[in-house]
Amino acid sequence: MSTITLAAACTTTADPPGSNPSSAAPTTAAAGVDPTGQPSPSASGPATIPTSAFVELPPELRKSPRRTVPVEEALPKLCGNEFGTGGRQVTAAAAMTVTYKKADDDPSNTPQGMVHQTIFTFGGTGATDYMARLRTDLAACPSFQHDGSRATAKSEALPGVGDEALLLTLTWPATSIGGEHTGGNETSQIAVARVDTVVTVFDDQGWEGSSGNPAILDRVVRDGVRTIDTWQR
């Protein structure tokens, strides 16, 4: 079974710097080692996250193949580092990005957007603790700075997905290529789901700052959770 590069989960003390997509040879992470390199005595989850654990789009929606990215690049940033784990009870972490298009688009057209998917595996109660902490952090971040404008964030439960799931809708003023406000809004969504001791984060980003596609994200989230459930069996 193939595996993808495992990047360290972010800490909660500072926003991690951005980095370029990884093209390094696949590696694996040792079970029970947190991102600081210190053993986690409570870790008991899978030691590696295979490529097959990540969602893949159907051919008609796939603009380009999945690619590995560092976890710190894939995780969304709002008021702070709400989606980081702090390394508590994390046994493995990895991320991939898939670029999507409209089903009827000409292959030469620009993509419609991309979805970054991050997967964390936890030991003990780490996965449920992560979801509880995330709800608290999101409640404290109703708005944030987004590309020079003020964006709002609204979270709600996402029923029927995994053991528990959240859907976050982000809204910000639309601008022209020159940066002028056009009077409309752009939106995108982030979904987070827990499947037993695994948490996955999906961040949908429209191409070049445009709105994401809620219908595609919904499909990705539900397919992604089923993929993780299959991997865990």
pLDDT score recorded for residue 18:
34
Q: Count the alpha carbons within 13 Å of 232 in the hemisphere toward its beta carbon.
A: 18
CA distances from 226 to 56, 83, 164 (A): 11, 22, 13
pLDDT score recorded for residue 148:
76
Please, which residues have CB within 8 angstroms of residue 148's CB and are 6 or more apart in sequence? 179
Q: How far is CA 102 from the centre of its chain?
A: 21
- Which has the closest alpha carbon to 210: 154, 150, 147? 147
Could you give the CA distance from residue 70 to residue 95 in angstroms, rounded to a whole number?
6
- The position carrying tokens 């994390």 is 90
CA quadruple 92, 97, 169, 144: dihedral sign: positive
pLDDT score recorded for residue 166:
97
> pLDDT tens track of the chain, all 233 residues?
444 433 333 333 333 333 333 333 333 333 333 332 223 333 344 468 999 999 999 999 999 889 999 999 999 999 999 999 867 789 999 999 999 998 888 878 888 899 999 999 999 999 999 999 999 999 999 999 877 788 999 999 999 999 999 999 999 988 766 667 777 888 999 999 999 999 999 999 988 878 999 999 999 999 999 999 999 98
Q: Which CATH architecture has domain 51-232?
A: 3-Layer(aba) Sandwich (3.40)
Whether the predicted model's global pTM rises above the 0.95 cut: no
Could you give the CA distance from residue 124 to residue 43 in angstroms, rounded to a whole number?
7
**Measured at the alpha carbon of residue 67, what is the angle toward residues 114 and 214, in degrees to the nearest 5?**
20
Could you give the CA distance from residue 196 to residue 152 in angstroms, rounded to a whole number?
30
For residue 157, the tally of other CB atoms under 10 A from its CB is 11
pLDDT score recorded for residue 24:
30
Identity of the residue numbered 142: P
pLDDT score recorded for residue 179:
67
Could you give the CA distance from residue 87 to residue 11 in angstroms, rounded to a whole number?
6
pLDDT score recorded for residue 177:
66
pLDDT score recorded for residue 146:
79
pLDDT score recorded for residue 85:
84
